[in-house]
Chains A and B, each alone.
Chain A
Amino acid sequence: MSTRPRALELGVIGCHTCGLVCAAPSPANQAARCPRCGEVLHARRSDGVSRAWALLLAAMVFYIPANMLPVMYTDMLGHGSNSTICTGIIEFWKAGSYGIALVIFIASVAVPCAKFLILGMQLITARRHPRWARRERARLYRLVEIVGYWSMLDVLVVAIVAGLVKFKALADIEPRLGILFFGGVVILTMLAAMQFDPRLIWDGNET
């Protein structure tokens, strides 16, 4: 473990907006603003954990209708059919487009599920401050921030095919309610990840 000093111990705060290092207010619970950019300085956003829990649980609830309800309705020459996210992936797989099936599976199933697990684990460990695998947990959190928004892929695919296939009685594609819930999952998990303060991973029994 590195013995590098931390801002909290030195009584300074790095401004999240402009990066300026400022003296922490005393007493510590007093509100202070960055003298350069005017942003509120937070030594830690500790209420972020509760907010992140609320957003994460809401996202998990949304994930159920997102998968159960159809995301798209396709009408081809009078034959209408609803498709869910799973049937969309299976269709690509059966048609032999394994690569595309894999891309959609990763964006729509693997990434959201990984986010639930990783964020849940971060939020549980944030309260206890174990020294276990800190570097790895920090890496996982950064991974969630980097790949999180790729789940929006399915929403945009539905938008594009629904925008294109508009041939009245011959062929028509329309969005369905499932896609709204799915978009909700993406936005809620992104907000949950933003509420979590990664500095909490490194707090508690330093040595």
Chain B
Amino acid sequence: MKVFPNLVVCEHCDAVYRRPMLAPGESVRCEVCAASFHRAGRLNVDRWLALTVAATVVYVIANVCPLIRISFKGLHNEATLWQSVAALAHGSAALIAVPAALTVIVIPLLHMLLLGWVLLHARRGRRAPGFHIAMKLLVVLRPWSMLEVALIGILVSVIKLAGFLYVTPGVGLWAISVLTVLFTLIAGPDIRHLWDSTESAVRS
């Protein structure tokens, strides 16, 4: 099949452009539909990998440490992210625990692991074993990571409970705040540039 590596197509409206040379952080704004596409990442592969490793460490802290502690009439309680999701798995609405666990726990972790694996090899200009499937999964999984929604959810819960209980933020809340920032940084760049940057390794 004939391919045209010197062309790019706007995925939003199908307009065709000659492949531009982009400086880091630049993107093409489509003159037809005004969407920005073909974004060049601000991060080089080394920094991208470093942030991914950092995000994974913070992820562990965010999942092990309690998000919030509450006190009520001399009793104390605290909950981690996992315990919160598990609390949904009771009664008639139990099924909702599955998408909740996937979107705030499983998919973000899978995203970081796959990205780390791909970047680890991309540093040396190579394609990791399972590169194709990892890259496809990264594209499919991206819209289903909802860490930032979880963060706002925790803050809303703090205010909701502060009306009748004594509420203190836990280490997990700080960790998930940092994780949200790191995750946005690592999941933001257009992953598809890795197909181009590792192309030479396949040809030779």
Contacts and interface: CB of A to CB of B under 8 A. Distances in A.
Interface of A: 2, 4-8, 10, 12-14, 16-23, 25, 32, 35-39, 76, 92, 95, 97, 100, 103-104, 134-135, 138-139, 142, 145, 149-150, 152-153, 155-167, 170-171, 174-180, 183, 187, 190, 194, 198-199, 201-202
Contact of A179 (B68, B93, B152): B93
A113 B161 CA distance: 28
A202 B11 CA distance: 12
B14 to A, nearest CB: 5
A95 B150 CA distance: 23
Given A4-B32, A156-B146, A159-B87, 20 more contacts: A6-B13, A6-B16, A7-B14, A8-B14, A18-B135, A21-B4, A23-B2, A37-B132, A76-B164, A138-B12, A149-B103, A159-B97, A161-B157, A162-B88, A163-B79, A164-B79, A165-B77, A174-B91, A180-B95, A199-B13
A159 B84 contact: yes
B75 A17 contact: no
A100 B159 contact: yes
B80 to A, nearest CB: 8
Interface of B: 1-5, 7-17, 31-35, 38, 67-68, 70, 72-73, 75, 77-79, 83-88, 90-93, 95-97, 99-100, 103-104, 132, 135-136, 139, 143-144, 146, 149-150, 152-154, 156-157, 159-161, 163-165, 192, 195-196
Contacts of B161: 161, 164-165
Which 4 A-B residue pairings sit nearest by Cβ, starting from the closest?
A: A14-B9, A156-B153, A163-B84, A163-B87
A190 B103 CA distance: 13
Q: Label chain A's interface by main secondary structure.
A: helix
A162 to B, nearest CB: 4
Contacts, number: 222
28 contacts: A4-B31, A6-B15, A13-B9, A14-B10, A17-B192, A19-B11, A19-B38, A32-B1, A37-B135, A39-B136, A135-B34, A153-B153, A156-B84, A157-B160, A160-B157, A162-B87, A164-B68, A167-B72, A167-B75, A175-B88, A175-B96, A176-B91, A176-B92, A179-B88, A180-B96, A187-B99, A190-B143, A202-B33
B92 A17 contact: no
Contacts of B160: 92, 100, 157, 161
A175 B165 CA distance: 19
Contacts of B5: 20-21
A11 B195 CA distance: 23
B100 A155 contact: yes
Contact of B12 (A104, A142, A177): A142
Contacts of A38: 132
Nearest to A167: B75
A177 B92 CA distance: 5
Given A164-B78, A164-B161, A165-B70, A194 B143 contact: yes
B84 A138 contact: no
A194 B140 CA distance: 10
A167 B132 CA distance: 49
Contacts of B10: 14
A12 B4 contact: yes
Nearest to A33: B1
A139 B13 CA distance: 11
A4 B34 CA distance: 13
A156 B150 contact: yes
